[in-house]
Homo-oligomer: A and B are copies of this chain.
Amino acid sequence: MPTYHIEMMEGRTVEQKKKLVEEITRVSVEILGGSPESVDILITDVKRENWATGGKLWLERTS
């Protein structure tokens, strides 16, 4: 029943997401117990204009 929310910079491939949710579910079941079906994972792809660190949008930091 654990629920994971992952915020990551946009641009990751479906292939990366597939591997990530597979591995996180495996690790979660191993450490917390429960069945794989009880693990929910939601991903948010964040645009560079919507994430800031140190007072600067990543749009600016990386351009």
Contact = CB atoms under 8 A, between A and B. Distances in A.
A43 to B, nearest CB: 4
A52 B52 CA distance: 19
Contacts of A5: 4-7
Query: Oligomeric state, in number of copies?
Result: 6
Given A50-B44, A52-B41, A54-B39, A20 B27 contact: yes
Interface size bucket, A side? 35 or more
Nearest to A25: B55
Nearest to A19: B31
B17 A57 contact: yes
Nearest to A1: B9
10 contacts: A7-B42, A16-B31, A17-B49, A21-B52, A22-B56, A25-B55, A40-B52, A41-B52, A42-B52, A44-B50
